[in-house]
Structure formats: C-alpha cells, structure tokens
Amino acid sequence: MSEQIFGELDAILAEIQSAEISDLDQLEAFRIKYLGSKNILKPLGGQIRNVPNEKKKEFGQLLNKIKQEAAAKYQSLQDGLAQSQSENQAAGIDFSAPTQELRVGTRHPVSLVINRIIEIFTRLGFTIAEDREIEDDWHNFTAMNTPEHHPARDMQDTFYLQDSTTRLLRTHTSSVQSRVMTSQQPPIRIIAPGRVYRNETISARSHCQFHQVEGLYIDKNVSFADMKQTLLYYAKEMYGEDVRIRLRPSYFPFTEPSAEMDVYWGLKTERDHKITKGTGWLEILGCGMVDPNVLSNCGIDPEEYSGFAFGMGIERQAMLQYRIGDIRMLFENDVRFLKQFRSAY
Ligand code: PHE
C-alpha cells in the first residue's frame, strides 16, 4: 500500500519537473493544480495514516519537497513570463492584438496553365526554350515553309513593326522551332511557352495577343504514333485519365501530315452546346510531322531525322479549366478577378 503512495508522489514530482509552460493560461492551470486551494497534493497528504510509522518521516519530506519544487517552478516561470511580457510592452508589441490580413499575391490563370503544361512535358524529358517576341520574317514564316506571297501568310494577320517589312511581332511560337533548329542539332526535345500577336478584332473569343506553348521533338525514326502517344499523355494528365481525344486532318505549311486535336468536353448543358458549337468537342492544338522543307531550311538533314511539332493555345484551355466566359478578362488585370486564383503551381 505505502509503495503505491510513494510511487504516486514520485510521478507527480516528475510531472512538475517536466511541465512545459509557455503562456499565462498554462501557468495559471499549473498553479491551480499544484498550489491552489484544491491542489492534488492535499488528498495525498491525508494518506499519511496509511504509511507505516518508520516511513512517515520520509513521506513527509517527499511531500514537502514536491510542494517546494512546485512553488519554486511557479515563481521562476511567473518572473520569466512577466519579464518577456514587459519587454514586449516596452517594445510596443501587443501579441494579443488581432493581426492584419496578409495579402498574398495569386498567379495569373494563364501562368497556372502554362506551369502545368511545363510540368507535364518536363516529365517526358522536354526542356524549355524561350525566344524573342519581336521576330524577323524568316524565322516566323520563311523558315517555316511559308515564303512570301504564300497564301498561308493570310491565315495569320501579322503586326509588322513600323517602317519595316521584315520585323514583326511573332504570330506563333513556331518561330522558336526555327530558332532552336538553326542553333542545335538533334536530338531536340523542347517546349516553348510564350506570347504571340495577331491583328484580329478583339471579342469575347479572340484577342490580338495570346499565349501558346510550342512543342518540338526531332530525332531518328520519330513517328506519327510517337506524337499521338505524347499528346494523349498530355491530355490525360491535363484533363483526367478518362479524357477522350481525336485528331482531325488539317493543314499547316510547316507540318505534313497535319492535324488538329480536340478533347471531348461534353454536351450536358446549354453552355456545353454553346462552347463546343453543338459537337461536344473542343480544339486545343495544332500538330503534325515536321515538314522536310522546314528541316532543310534550318540545316537539319531530313533523310536522317524526322520529328513532330505541336502548338497549343493557352487562353482557351485556361477558360475551359476555370470556366471563364470572356477572353478579355485575362488581359484586364482586374484584381477582383485575379485574386480568385490560388494554386500550388
Ligand atoms: N503554329 C500553329 C498555329 O499557331 C500551330 C502549330 C504548331 C501547328 C506546330 C502544327 C505544328 O496555329
């Protein structure tokens, strides 16, 4: 019986010695428990009658020691806390005052989408290439198998620099293809995110500036199947495992054969009908096998190498992902609009 009481006292002593106290509330709880008028030592003191006579002295001493330790610890903690509090007060700091909201910036939805695209393609071994927005005619058009007077130049209404017939704002990130191919030999595996410009009437669906991510993969024996697989992987990562895609034959001067890729969006709501023009499908990119002319224009032997390229629009995908109904919102930089976008990317 007495063994058990001694054990309890030892446990309480250890508890007091190891108690961690960092604020006044905890300190008060400590005081009530060990030093208050109903402290836990009082009922134990009464147990002395169950202690054999030869141990009564030892019991009393232990009980006193516990009381003293508790009182000493209380005193020094009180002094310490009071001191740091007065230091804070002296420094004019009131830690109990409510804080001001910390305004953290948010990323632009276009950046969020670009960052996800970069993340997906870097996993496949693509590296990032960036180049100028003010381009020359050769890199934007001629090298890309679109010589002067080629009807395809009209597909993209170009902003030329004042007093210049050769310097222009790039109309697509495909200009980075020719920049990369004229400066390095295959294997080439790059994506090129960036801003592009076209002289178009601004509306809810189109703008005179927007963003693209270009992709270019050149090596020996690259096939159309490689391209399909790469783009399917992208679509799954971006739109979910059970995404459906389709490739429709198309035309670009710099690829042959060429295609446009659609993802299935659905036809459940009236809005779905509206944005997919009743088909359920949405075009997100153009792609194809790099035309041999483009390779030779840029100094790469088309007999030895082949490759694929794609170019995807970013705004369209951002609008899909965040259900934004008007492309102009992406360029107005209204903070009330922008601060809704929070993300880990
Ligand atoms: N440059 C094309 C466009 O802007 C997209 C594209 C890129 C198509 C690469 C094929 C290959 O529409």
Q: pLDDT digit string (tens) for 152-200?
A: 676 668 999 988 888 999 999 999 999 999 999 999 999 999 999 999 8
Ligand 1, residue 311: give the atom nearest the CA.
7
* Residue of 254, 258, 291 best suited for mutating to test ligand 1, as the one with most atoms within 8 Å of CB: 254
Q: pLDDT digit string (tens) for 31-89?
A: 999 999 999 888 888 888 888 888 889 999 999 999 999 999 999 888 888 888 778 77
Omega cis (within 30) before 193: no
Q: How many CA atoms lie within 13 A of 55 on its CB side?
A: 14
Ligand 1 centroid from CA 273, angstroms: 26
Q: Which residues line ligand 1 (CB under 6 A)?
A: 172, 174, 252, 255, 286-288, 309-311
Specify whether the CB–CB gap between 256 and 339 falls below 8 A. Answer: no
Specify whether the CB–CB gap between 135 and 340 falls below 8 A. Answer: no
Q: Report d(CA 167, CA 191) in Å as an integer.
A: 24
Q: How many CA atoms lie within 13 A of 307 on its CB side?
A: 27
Q: Report d(CA 29, CA 43) in Å as an integer.
A: 18
Res 344: pLDDT? 59
Q: In what order do the strands lie in the sheet with 245-252?
A: 127-128, 188-197, 209-219, 306-313, 281-290, 255-264, 245-252
Ligand 1 centroid from CA 283, angstroms: 12
CATH superfamily, with its number, for domain 109-341: Bira Bifunctional Protein; Domain 2 (3.30.930.10)
Domain positions in the chain: 2-89, 109-341
Under DSSP, the state recorded for 100 is: P
- β partners of residue 273: none
- Looking at the predicted structure, is the pLDDT value of residue 138 above 90? yes
Ligand 1, residue 173: give the atom nearest the CA.
1
Q: pLDDT digit string (tens) for 201-220?
A: 998 888 999 999 999 999 99
Kindly report the protein residue whose alpha carbon is nearest to atom 5 of ligand 1: 311
Ligand 1 centroid from CA 109, angstroms: 22
Ligand 1 centroid from CA 57, angstroms: 95
Kindly report the protein residue whose alpha carbon is nearest to atom 4 of ligand 1: 172
Backbone angles phi, psi at 181, to 5 degrees: -70, -30
Res 239: pLDDT? 92
Average confidence (pLDDT) over 270-293: 91
Specify whether the CB–CB gap between 134 and 169 falls below 8 A. Answer: yes
Q: pLDDT digit string (tens) for 228-276?
A: 999 999 999 999 999 999 999 999 999 999 999 999 988 888 888 887 8
